[in-house]
């Protein structure tokens, strides 16, 4: 197998993108690499010279977060309806083992960038024992999880989940995708395969529909999402909130990347 960094450097023209849509106007941004960006980083997170964002590296029991530095308006007023939004990003998880990894990462929308009280390991540096499940968290997340945590009723040790204020997912699915180029056949994927993958997160503010799709790097966005849920995020998201990522390490060596 080629070295992990060689695999990562083969990737080009990939990006992190977000679009917020409403009748009052749209907002969008895209990062084609993270060199020179003003991201808010904490813990083990860092931007490498080649523009790759490393959320967590080989060190054990660490947390890492990266946020777009300014809050975005997810609701047009404090009691308004949550705006539709779409996000897309490319990630890779590199484990020193080919058949085992420990804990994953998450895409998050949060009212705060301060996660100092969040626990590592199974809590994905998002929540802790005391606040897990509290409506006051105002947290939306899509977890890319590589451990089966029975406390949160995870489906397996390689899954994608939609989470609201809680590490117990609203809906989740083993990691896979529907291949439109092959009659929509269901194909399994492994989050820590050392391969870059794409994720699309879409929320419809009119219907409360949340869709998450995932695919290998050279595959277009599947028409059928991997996991979906119906939830009115107007009851969750604050008027202004931050978009970002969270990840954790445990006792084995592995790394989480957002790619350029």
Residues in Cβ contact with 206 at an 8 Å cutoff, skipping those fewer than 6 apart: 84
Residue 94 has pLDDT above 90, yes or no: no
What pLDDT digit, counting tens, does each position of 59-85 carry? 667 789 999 999 999 998 888 999 999
Task: Classify the C-alpha dihedral 227-232-233-236 as positive or negative.
Answer: negative
Closest CA to 249 of 113, 40, 64, 48: 64
pLDDT tens-digit series, residues 115-150: 999 988 788 999 999 999 999 999 999 999 988 888
To the nearest whole number, what is the mean pLDDT of the chain?
87
Q: What is the pLDDT of residue 26?
A: 81
Residue 9 predicted with pLDDT over 50: no
Q: What angle do CA 198, 188, 45 make, to 5 degrees?
A: 40
How large is the average pLDDT for residues 38-62? 85
Look up the domain containing 57 and give its range: 4-258
pLDDT in tens, 195-223: 899 999 999 999 999 999 999 998 999 99
Please tell me whether residue 181 adopts helix, strand or coil conformation.
helix
pLDDT value of residue 11 = 39
- Predicted structure pTM score: 0.91
Structural domain count, the chain: 1
The distance in angstroms from the start CA to the end CA of the chain is 22
Q: What is the CATH number of the domain that holds 57?
A: 2.60.120.200
Q: What's the pLDDT score for residue 14? A: 42
Whether the per-residue pLDDT at 228 is higher than 90: the answer is yes
Q: How much of the chain exceeds pLDDT 90, in percent?
A: 58
Which pLDDT does position 102 carry in this prediction?
64
């Amino acid at each position: 197998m080629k070295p992990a960094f060689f695999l990562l450097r083969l990737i080009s023209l990939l990006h992190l993108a977000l679009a917020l849509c409403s009748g009052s106007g749209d907002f969008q941004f895209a990062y084609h690499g993270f060199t020179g960006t003003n991201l808010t980083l904490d813990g083990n997170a860092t931007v490498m010279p080649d523009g790759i964002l490393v959320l967590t590296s080989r060190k054990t029991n660490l947390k890492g977060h990266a946020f777009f530095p300014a809050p975005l308006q997810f609701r047009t007023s404090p009691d308004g309806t949550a705006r539709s939004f779409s996000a897309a990003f490319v990630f890779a998880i590199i484990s020193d083992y080919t058949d085992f990894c420990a804990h994953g990462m998450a895409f998050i929308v949060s009212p705060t960038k301060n996660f100092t009280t969040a626990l590592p390991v199974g809590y994905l540096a998002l929540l802790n024992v005391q606040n897990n499940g509290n409506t006051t968290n105002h947290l939306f997340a899509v977890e890319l999880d590589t451990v089966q945590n029975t406390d949160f009723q995870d489906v397996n040790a390689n899954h994608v989940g939609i989470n609201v204020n809680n590490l117990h997912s609203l809906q989740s699915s083993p990691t896979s995708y529907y291949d439109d180029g092959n009659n929509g056949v269901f194909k399994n994927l492994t989050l820590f395969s050392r391969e870059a993958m794409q994720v699309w997160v879409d929320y419809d503010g009119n219907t409360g529909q949340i869709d998450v799709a995932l695919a290998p790097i050279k595959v277009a966005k599947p028409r059928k999402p991997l996991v979906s849920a119906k939830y009115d995020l107007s009851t969750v998201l604050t008027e202004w909130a931050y978009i970002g990522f969270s990840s954790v390490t445990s006792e084995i060596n592995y790394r989480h990347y957002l790619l350029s």
